[in-house]
Structure 1
Amino acid sequence: MTLPGHGRYDYVPITARRSFCWPGGRRLAVYLGVNLEHFAFSGGLGAELAPGGPQPDVLNYAWRDYGNRVGAWRMIGLLDQLALPATVLANSAMYGYASDLMAAHRARGDEIAGHGRSNAERQGGMPEAAERALIAEATATIAAAEGRAPEGWLSPWISESRVTPDLLAEAGYRYTLNWCMDDQPVWMRTRAGRILSIPYPQEVNDIPAIVARKDGAQAFADMITENFDEMLEQSAGQSLVMGIALHPYIVGQPYRLRALRGALAHIAARREEVWITRAGDISRHCHDEIADSLA
């Protein structure tokens, strides 16, 4: 029986791939994906602290907005304290809503990756022309503010249409974070050539862990440290990527931030053994140095 497939990449078991290293001979690359998101008031999509009632849903809107007003700033303080870089996954609407926050990440030298216009919408159900326009609008907004177009993309809600990878490659994107099928970067086929898939976590991610599974703050912090320790051991045999997905309205809450600090400090203490970096740096190394070693 042959099931419908996507045709974007081939099945290559992780045990049957070529060996490669990250810069400095390191075997484990770690990056933090900080999601900065803006949501529509009185409509649209959004994670829920409690089941939403009739609009306007002030409870859930305000809970999410805490992230941009407070949580994200506390997270910047934590990143500065531990001298950690970040890949900021930014809705382009953030530039009009919280430009000071975007400027603070720019001042840190953090990478800004595309994350749609707003997490109040999904691109997966859009006609191709509308999705192309969404990508173009978000890209142009980021490029105008940052002085360069983003190299990577994470779709709001990880929502793709049948042609999303094609549209991203045609728009000049070099990597996507949408596919969580591997612990190494993987080349994906598009009608405009190949695009790199960099692992983005759906397990070590505060939305599935805390919002969906209702894990506690310490449980999520333990998940980060245990995942890191296990992947560091596994990486002795082959190079891997560990992403950590964070949302300021969730882990920026004080009690969760306190637990997160311990987990990130655990990783920062091993910085001589691992490559703590940004997703764009992983992409550039893959494109420029080890392209032929990847599946």
Structure 2
Amino acid sequence: MREGEADPGLYDFRPYRDRAKIAWPEGKTVAVWVSPNIEFYELDPPANPHRKSWAKPHPDVVGYSHRDYGNRVGHQRLVDVMARHGFKGSVSLSIAMCQHHPEIVEQVNALGWEFFSHGAYNTRYSYGMDEAQERALIEDSIQTVRAATGQTIKGWLAPALTHTPRTLDLIAEYGLTYTCDLYHDDQPGPVHVKSGKLISMPYSLEVNDHYGFSVYNMSPRAYAETLIRQFERLAAEGETSGTVMCIPLHAYLVGQPHRIGPFEEVLRHIAADGRAWITRSGDIADHFLANDYDAAVADAARYAREAR
């Protein structure tokens, strides 16, 4: 292996075919969690030399107002259909929402939704941060969400999916237990960090509504059918060992009038199926840490021995 090609060592390789069995509560085969991204995008944010906030020169009125539709209109549609079918959200939160639109945060907190940090704004990135700046962001996330909701965040999704080499170590040091920033598996698994205990929480780019509508150019019906196929496969495989399905959403996309109907049919399908543990990301993390973490570590050690 040439220099620079080494495995970064974020997590161990564990073949999907041969792992300790994960057993979800009540014999469910797939843990399903819905992750609404409740975000704030700035009209004309500070420039980051590593990445532009908007494709157009600032201020990008079109991009800003399109996303603002989510907080003003689409959010309520999403809340309504989720409540109708018994889903509580696990919110990927731009913590600035606690100041800009506190009524939204208060509303879903009262509904029993969970919050984890998605940075301060989705137009400010971790790229280029020094350690003190990144620590300040994590501390601000913990303190702001606790003050606004009474909750202590357990998870992290980096703002606009931007990281530094120290991000995972730092969030573990501050007591967070899961990251949504690794897309390598359909089950939770241990992450190597310098201190604490951190797991990867299966999130998704493939069935994220941003990718579905803005990258893959799916119709609302095609996106809904994709989610149902994802669920059916993971529920079937989960009979061997429990799987996780995340549905990451943005209210400015899925909350549009022509999209919310097909999406509601997905929730209806999953709720009626009977194989889904409909839950929140923090509950999945707590269950895995209490029941499956040690077995996953042992699996990795066994595989490493056998591969020698």
State the TM-score bracket (shorter-chain normalisation). over 0.9
Deviation at residue 143 of structure 1 after TM alignment: 1.0
Indicate whether 1:157 and 2:160 are aligned: yes
> Structure 1 stretch 82-91 or stretch 35-44: which is displaced more?
35-44
Q: CA deviation at 1:52?
A: 4.4
Q: Give the equivalent residue in structure 1 for 2:26.
A: 24
TM-score, normalised relative to structure 2: 0.90
Give SS of 2:252's match: helix
Question: Residue 91 of structure 1 contacts residue 115 of structure 1 at CA under 8 Å; is this kept in 2?
Answer: yes
The CA distance in 1 between the partners of 2:161 and 2:262, in whole Å, is 26
Give, in angstroms, the shift of residue 223 of structure 1: 0.8
**2:77 corresponds to:** 74
Distance 2:96 2:240 in 1: 42
The letter of the residue matching 1:38 is F
Count of residue pairs brought into register by the alignment: 289
Could you tell me how far apart the structure 2 residues matched to 1:27 and 1:263 are?
18
Match of 2:252 among 246, 249, 253: 249
Q: For 1:276, give the aligned amino acid.
A: I
Q: CA deviation at 1:55?
A: 2.5
Q: Spell out, residue by residue over 1:23-59, the C-alpha distance to the aligned partner (whole angstroms, 9 max, x if none).
A: 11222111001100001112369xxxxx843332111
After superposition, the C-alpha distances for 1:220-271 in whole angstroms (9 at most, x for unaligned) are: 111101111111111122211111100001101111111111111111112x
- Supply the AA of the counterpart residue of 2:27: G
Question: Counterparts of 2:196 and 2:101 in 1: how far apart (Å)?
Answer: 35
Work out the CA distance in 1 between the residues paired with 2:127 and 2:176.
18
Distance 1:26 1:96 in 2: 39
Secondary structure class of the residue paired with 2:197: strand
1:91–1:119 contact (8 Å) kept in structure 2: yes
Q: How does 1:37-48 map to 2 (within 5 A)?
A: 37-43=39-45
* Partner in structure 2 of residue 133 of structure 1: 136
Counterpart mapping for 1:1-295 below 5 A: 1-2=1-2, 3-43=5-45, 52-270=55-273, 272-295=274-297
Q: Is the 8 A contact 1:73 1:101 kept in 2?
A: no
User: Separation in 1 of the partners of 2:201 and 2:59?
Assistant: 37
Alpha-carbon separation, structure 1, partners of 2:177 and 2:196: 10
Q: Is the 8 A contact 2:115 2:151 kept in 1?
A: no
* Residue aligning to 1:48: none
Tell me the TM-score normalized by structure 1: 0.94
Question: Is contact 1:20-1:293 (8 Å) kept?
Answer: no
Residue ranges of structure 2 left out of the alignment (5+ in a row): 48-53, 298-308
RMSD: 1.5
Contact 1:32–1:278 (CA under 8 A) maintained in structure 2: yes
Q: Identity of aligned pairs, percent?
A: 35
C-alpha separation in 1, matches of 2:219 and 2:262: 10
Residue 131 of structure 1: how far off its partner (Å): 1.1
Partners of 2:118 and 2:205 lie apart in 1 by 16
SS at structure 1 position matched to 2:146 = helix
Query: Which amino acid is the alignment partner of residue 184 of structure 1?
Result: Q
Distance 1:212 1:125, change over 3 A: farther
Deviations 1:97-143 (A, max 9, x none): 11111111011101111111010011133112211111111221001
